Each structure stands twice: as C-alpha cells, then as structure tokens.
Amino acid sequence: MRIWDPPANFIELPSQLEGVSVYGPAPEPCSDSEHPTTYTCPQCGARTQFNVSVGGIACEHCGFCAPAESSTVGTDAEEFEFTPDALAPSSKGLGSNRRTLACEQCGAVLSLPEKALTITCPFCTSHRISIRESTLDELQPRHLIPFKIQPQEIQLRAKEWLGKGWFHPDELSRQSRVDHFTGIYLPFWTFDANIIAHWKAEVGHEKQESYYDASSKTWQTRTKVVWRWENGEIHLPIDDLQVKGSGRISGKILERILPFDLSALREYHPDFLAGWNAQHYDVDLAEAWEEGKVRMREAAKCSCFADIPTRHVRNFSMVADFSNESWRYILLPVYISAYQFGEQVFQIMVNGQNGLVAGQKPVAWWKVWLAIFAMLLPGIGLGLIGLPLLLLNGLGFLPLVLGGVLLTVGGIFALQLYHQAADSEAA
Amino acid sequence: MTTSQSTTILPESESTRSIWGIALYPLGCPCCTQVYLAQDPHVEQRCPSCAQAILIPQTARLRTEPPEAIIPFKLQKADLTAPLEQFAQAVWLRPDDFSGENLFQRLKAVYLPAWLVDCRLSGTWEAEAGYDYEVKSSQETYQHGQWVTTPLTEKRTRWEKRVGRLDRVYHNITAPALANSSKTLRQIGEFDSASAHPYHFEIPQDILLHVPDLPPESAWETARERFDQAAARDCLRAAAAEHIRNFSIQGNYGSQNWTQLLMPMFFTHYSDDEGRQHPVWIHGQTGHIAGAQWASQQKGWYWAGVSIATAVTLFLISLFFFAFNTVIPALLPLGFLFAVFAFAGGVFSLVPLIWPRQWNHRQKERKIFEQSKKDIPPPSAVP
C-alpha cells in the first residue's frame, strides 16, 4: 500500500473524528522576536548597530555592514481586523536582547539596546531611570519606517530652528545645548474604515422676495430663508489615520512633525532597532481606536455638512455605519531631545523621516507684549484723538470710526500673536 | 464500482418466497413497463406510475437480497377522506369521475424503492475549512449635539486549507432505485428517513411493491456523491470547522453492499372527459397530495348551453313585452328588465365556456414547472 505524504509545510492537526486525519499549513516560522538577537560583528566581535546611511547593521570598528533584510511594503502593509484574537498578545517583544527601562519622573517605558549606556530620559531629561522587570504583553510591531535623517544633521536643523522667530530670547540659540538627540521609534496605530453616513437636517434655502415698504412707499427685495427637511448619504473611506500610541510625549509637538509618508513602511526587523531606542505603546489598541473613531466620525460629520448646499442648517442628526475597520501597529522614527533654558526644560522633536523640527521654545514675553501694544496703539490713539474732538465740535467722528476699525484689526492680530507665543511654550 | 450481491430473474408465475421468504408475485404495466410485486396477482390493479393500464403478470429482474429497511405509513386510508374531497373540490367544473369518493375508493398503498448502500471509503481528501470568528464594529449616531456609540458584532469566516486521509465505513447511504423516482418525489415531497426501521417480511395485504428499474450501476453516480457528502461532513467534524467548501476526495469505495429502502405512498386515479386516466399520489407520511387536477370542458359546454338557452328565452320574453307595451304600458319596464337579464345571461355563458380551458392550461404550465424543478433524491441516509 502506498504511503500518503502530506504536502510540504503541512503539519498534522488534532482530529476530532476517528478514521480521519487532518493536516494544515504549518504556522509561520518563529519570528526573531521569539529568539532574541545579539548584535555583534561577525568579523571583529565588536558591538554593531543600525546605521542610517548604510540602511542596515554596521560595525564602527572594522567597517562591516549588512543591509537590513526587510522589504518595503508601503501602504500595502498587512492590516488586521478588530477581532479578539488579533488583540491577544501572541507575539511579544521587539525581537532582540533589549532592556526595559522606566523613568521614575515621567513614567515613560523605554526599550533600549542591551548594552546601551543611556541614562537620560529623552522625554524629560531626567536621570532617575531604573531597570524594570520586563512585563511585555504588547503586540509586536509588524512594520516600521527606518530613520532616514542622519543623527549628524539633527544638530544643525535644531540650531536653525531655535534661531527662528523674533519673540524668543535672543540668547536661545547660543545658550541652549541640544546636542544630545535620542533616536527613538515611537509607537503608532494606523486605522482604516469605510463610513456610510446618513444625515437628516432642516436645511435653509435663501430666497429673494419682494415686499411693499409702506414707509418709503416702494417695492423692496429681501432675503428670506425657507426651511425644509432634507436628508442625504455620504460614503467616506478613511485610509491610514495615524494615532499615536504613546501617552508620554506631547501630542501638540508630535502633531507638528506629522504626517509620516507611510509609502516607506518596511517589514519589521530587529536590525532596525539595533543600537536605537524604541518605546512600547502605552495607549493600547482599544484606547487608540476610540480616539481614531472620534476623529473619523467628526470627519464624516464634516463631509455631511459639505454635502449640504447651504450654510443654514439646524436640527442636524446623522448615523454613521463603520465597516471594514482595520488597524496596524507600526513604529515611526523620531529624534527627541530636551534642553534647558534657564530653569525650565523644553522638549524638541525631529521627524526621523523628513527632518521636520518642532518643539517647545521659551518666549520673551516683553517682546510679545510690546508687539501687542504696538498693534493696539493706532486704534487707541485715534480713539483718544477722536473722542474729545467729537465732544467739542463734532469733527471727531471720522477718527473715532477709523480708530475703532484699527483697534479691532489690531486686537485680532494681537490675539493671534498671543496664541502663537503661548503655543510655542506649551508642551 | 463493485457490488457484492447479484440479481435473479423471477418468472411471472413464481413468488419471491424462495429468495425473500415472503410470497410476492411480479406484475408489470404493458403501458409504461414498470414492474411491481403484489401478494395477490389475480386482483385487478391499475399501474400506480401511469394509471393507464391494468397490471399483468410478467417476469421480473430482482436482487436476491430482500429489502433492508422500511419507512412505515403514518397515515391510514381513512385519514385521507377529507384531503381527497378537498383535492377534488378545488376544481369547479370537474369530470364526473373526479370526485373525492371515487379517489378514496381507488386508494392503493404502494412502496417505492430506494437503494441503501454500505461502503468503506478510504482515500485522501482536501478542502477549505471555514472557521467563524467575530469582529467588532460600531455605529455612531449624532443627535441633539451628542454622539452615541452602538457597538456591533459581525461574524466572518476564515477559510484555511486542510488535507488528510480518511478511512471510514458508511452505512445505509441512499440512492434512487427508480428512473422516474425524482419526478414522483418532486411532487409529493421528501421522506423522513429517521422513522425507518428494519424490514421484517411483514408486508400488509393489498400493497404493491415497486421493483427498482435503475440498477446499482446506474445509481452509483448519485450514491458516490452521497458518500462524498458524508465524507465531507466527517472531515468538517474532524477539522473542528464550521464550514467546508471545495471538498474533493481521491479514494476507494470498497466493500459495497446494496439493499433496498421502502418508502410509503398512496396511489389513486380518475378519468377525464375522454376517459384518459390521471394518477394521483399521496405521501404516506405527510399526506401531501400531488397530481394534475383537470377540469371538464364538456361540463363547460353544458353549462354554457344552459346559460345561453336561458338568455335567449329571456330575450324573447322581453321582445314580447316590448311588442305589447302600447297596449299595456306597464310592460315596457318589464321588457327592459328581461332584456338586461338576457344580456347578463349571455355574458355569463362565456364563463363556463372559457374557464375549463384556462384552468387546464394552468395545469399544463404547472406540470412543466414541476418538471423543471430540481430533482429531489431519496433521503440521504437511513440511521
């Protein structure tokens, strides 16, 4: 009797019935995360790390280099459904011998290379960092964007950025030391969904109508708003909405260095993290999805309003059906630094893919107040001139009106400037 | 395929006692060539298949093994009085012979055969096994300036390739034993095979047994499909899946054993205007009645004639009243009234004339529709 062999890569599975054997495809071979890698040079035995210019592992001592074995998948990177299984922590860790450190000051949890000597928290510049027992139950990232900007370039870009803006202290660029940038992979979630939203509202349509004005005894036209109930449907596909997976970093600063170009997404490989830091997500999938949903439904609401041909809308209601929702857990490259100016600590971030710089900058408030005063002065001045003239002989009407206009315009600019300055300092 | 049993020729004057242990004599229909077994060959019996001829003794090709299982009648003849009356009453202008009473008088119990096949199936299989899983979704509602989230759960199926070996013995898988059984079953409906029990050589008097006209060789294709379906169900269970698709098996269908299952049916008949006999079949378990319900065109002509004669009479009377209205003025309205009745009677006479033709046309269409419906095979397996 001929012995039957199952196809290659098929393994026997437990059968629930006697007389029937069951074979299925073997699971994917264990990822590197199951067998942590130690990065030592095969030529000289020294420690190796990911080199941005090489795009792979390189040895500083003997010049050995090997490109990372990972392909670019871009926006075609695998996405996952919102299943309980997908949320199960089946694949853990980042796949190499790494230490998990926790900052006692800000609470950030960092994954550092095994022999890393970093003892400064890149988020708060604190030195109170302790080794924490690894309690990794996080999902393993499947994709990342590797660093494209060389660490050497960062100093120049940061100095240039610090020197920009007139309402900051003059000595900011000279006195601030931002030479210690930490390249860190930050956790991000991306979400896709199709939204079909049905809206219903009372929509007002403007209509010109003629009426007889008894006082002037003439026919006049006026605009009347005619209200009627209307409804509609919009289809809104949302692709790769990026939501941060870290609650430790400033959302405001991060927003300013977004977005990342996801067409450069590559399959995750521990090589990319060799010698670099990475942060585990502390905003889990459910929490991030809630935030993603809020942003998606607001986008759907905006689309509904855009669907309405007039600006007169009342009693608006809508039902948004989500379908084909999917998610990805990815790592994105960011350089982080914190610098001290005076007694205060300020954060600074650089997009590791395109070099965009954003961060907190101290504000020379005397400059801001002076500028605000200058903006309001013409209006106030004209008002002060116009008021006595009006009281005296009625000539002050024109300067008073002009003063009012200038005060309003100056006030708007002043408010904008104030917000800009306050934002610049805020984390 | 291989079958472990053989067939024998039963001469027309001999009974099945020597081979089956019970005395049943072969009778055949000279019109449709179907063969039956009856306990008394001398009782005049009309062919339950076509109802066109009386069964006459003839030789029969029989398998040597007796039937293995039988599905008993759930209904007695007496239970069918009202349903048959209702079946006949559904036709307004029906032939004289088409009455509930006649149908009941001619009721005959018949057992239809189906093959019961046992087999050991061993081979390799492959399929796509489907596993259900849930995904979470939501519906967001915005009303009165607030958002309300309604969580939703959606069920999806993940398909995975599965292969394996199968070595199982299957018992009592059924296959059709009559070439036209699907036509009959299509009309009266499926049988509940769960109520079948072993056959004990106890055929009640006055019952006909239809002899298979589809040999195992011809029924094998259907039987094999059934075995494959049973194997697919087993593989589904073995793989602990919820669904299975694209199932195929390469195997050996050995140790085959072919026996018969008997399925209960009543048969009766009626004749139309031209004396053509029409069969009526009744499901022995559910009582579902199937058969064409022909209307009588002759009766239509008769009632149309009566109606026209009445109309003509009324018209003549109305003419009479019109002629004498100058003498008796009160006759004029009566004349109008009779004229209206005459007109109505003339129009009404068209109804019995047209109705049978229309009704019978619908019966023909129904027959064509019934024939175009998907074949209903015998029950898939007997426990």
The shortest C-alpha distance from B213 to chain A (Å) reads: 35
Q: Is the pLDDT of residue A85 over 70?
A: no
Q: What are phi and psi of A46, to 5 degrees?
A: -75, 170
**Cα–Cα distance measured from residue A394 to residue A422, given in angstroms and rounded to the nearest whole number:** 42
A6, A19, A83: residue with CB nearest B133: A83
Nearest to B40 by CA among B54, B21, B23, B18: B23
| SS3 label, residue B68 | coil
Residue A336 confidence (pLDDT): 87
* B174 within 8 A of B190, measured Cβ to Cβ: no
Surface-to-core class of residue B264, CB atoms within 10 Å of its CB (0-12 exposed, 13-18 middle, 19+ buried): buried
Take residue A306 and report the two structure tokens written for it: 């855009």
What count of residues does chain B have? 383
Which has more confidence, B368 or B279?
B279
| SS3 label, residue A45 | coil
pLDDT confidence bin for B86, thresholds 50/70/90: very high
Backbone angle region of B364, left / alpha / beta, with phi > 0 → left and psi within -120 to 50 → alpha = alpha
Residue A302 confidence (pLDDT): 94
Beta strands A80-81 and B25-28 are unpaired
Residue A1 confidence (pLDDT): 47
Nearest to B111 by CA among B383, B381, B378: B378
Q: What is the DSSP code (8-state) at residue A262? A: G
Contact criterion met (CB < 8 Å) for B137 and A82: yes
Q: What is the DSSP string of B79-135?
A: GGHHHHHHHHHT-SS--TT--HHHHHHT-EEEEEEEEEEEEEEEEEEEEEEEEEEEE
- H helix or E strand, kind and range, residue A370: helix A365-393
| SS3 label, residue B279 | strand
Residue A98 confidence (pLDDT): 60
Q: B interface mutation test: which of A5, A22, A319 has the most B CBs within 10 A?
A: A22
Take residue B168 and report the two structure tokens written for it: 């199982």
Residue B309 confidence (pLDDT): 93
**Cα–Cα distance measured from residue B261 to residue B282, given in angstroms and rounded to the nearest whole number:** 18
Residue B324 confidence (pLDDT): 87
Contact criterion met (CB < 8 Å) for B166 and A19: yes
Residue A92 confidence (pLDDT): 45
Q: Note the pLDDT tens digit of each residue in B19-57.
A: 777 788 889 999 888 899 888 888 888 998 888 899 998
pLDDT confidence bin for A301, thresholds 50/70/90: very high
pLDDT confidence bin for A295, thresholds 50/70/90: very high
Residue A103 confidence (pLDDT): 63
Residue B335 confidence (pLDDT): 87
Which has more confidence, B206 or A90?
B206
- Closest-approach residue (CA) in chain A for B241: A16
Write out chain A residues lying below 8 Å of B149, CB-based.
293
Highest mean pLDDT range out of A322-326, B197-201, B329-333? A322-326
Mean per-residue pLDDT, B158-187: 87
* A349 within 8 A of A329, measured Cβ to Cβ: no
Nearest to B57 by CA among B16, B23, B29, B21: B29
Backbone angle region of B162, left / alpha / beta, with phi > 0 → left and psi within -120 to 50 → alpha = beta
Contact criterion met (CB < 8 Å) for A15 and B156: no
Query: pTM value?
Result: 0.66
Contact criterion met (CB < 8 Å) for B140 and A13: no
Contact criterion met (CB < 8 Å) for B140 and A83: no
B181-188 and B350-372 helices, crossing angle to 10° = 120
Strand partners, A109: A102
Residue A108 confidence (pLDDT): 65
Q: Is the pLDDT of residue A125 over 60?
A: no
Q: What is the mean pLDDT of chain A?
A: 82
Q: Is the pLDDT of residue A77 over 80?
A: yes
Is the complex ipTM more than 0.85?
no
Highest mean pLDDT range out of A204-213, B152-161, B239-248, B318-327? B239-248
- Rounded to the nearest 10°, the torsion over CA B232, B238, B240, B241 is -20
Alpha helix (H) residue ranges in A137-250: 151-163, 172-175
Which has more confidence, A72 or B8?
A72
Q: Note the pLDDT tens digit of each residue in A368-417.
A: 899 999 999 988 888 888 888 877 776 777 888 888 899 999 999 999 99
pLDDT confidence bin for A74, thresholds 50/70/90: confident
Say yes or no: B2 contacts chain A, CB-CB below 8 A.
no
Q: What are phi and psi of A60, to 5 degrees?
A: -70, -20
Q: What percent of chain B has pLDDT over 90?
A: 42
Residue A117 confidence (pLDDT): 46
Q: What is the mean pLDDT of chain B?
A: 86
A4, A7, A25: residue with CB nearest B165: A4
* B29 within 8 A of B46, measured Cβ to Cβ: no
Between residues 104 and 163 of chain B, which touch chain A (CB distance below 8 Å)?
Answer: 124-125, 133-144, 147, 149, 156, 160-163
The shortest C-alpha distance from A28 to chain B (Å) reads: 14
Q: What is the largest CA-CA distance in chain B?
A: 106
Least confident of A102-116, A254-268, A368-382: A102-116
A21, A82, A293: residue with CB nearest B165: A21
pLDDT confidence bin for B252, thresholds 50/70/90: very high
Q: Note the pLDDT tens digit of each residue in A194-213.
A: 999 999 999 999 999 899 88
How many residue contacts between A and B have a Cβ separation below 8 Å?
96
The shortest C-alpha distance from B139 to chain A (Å) reads: 5
Q: Note the pLDDT tens digit of each residue in B356-381.
A: 999 998 888 776 666 555 555 556 55
| SS3 label, residue A93 | coil
Strand partners, A313: A203
Beta strands A143-144 and A266-267 are antiparallel
Could you give the C-alpha distances from A418 to A251, A335, A348, in angstroms and in order?
20, 28, 21
Q: What are phi and psi of B273, to 5 degrees?
A: -55, -35
Mean per-residue pLDDT, A72-93: 70
Say yes or no: B250 contacts chain A, CB-CB below 8 A.
no
Per 3-state DSSP, chain A is made up of helix, strand and coil in percentages (nearest 5) of 30, 35, 35
**Cα–Cα distance measured from residue A221 to residue A305, given in angstroms and rounded to the nearest whole number:** 29
Which has more confidence, A384 or A304?
A304
Q: Is the pLDDT of residue B202 over 80?
A: no
Which has more confidence, A278 or B169?
B169
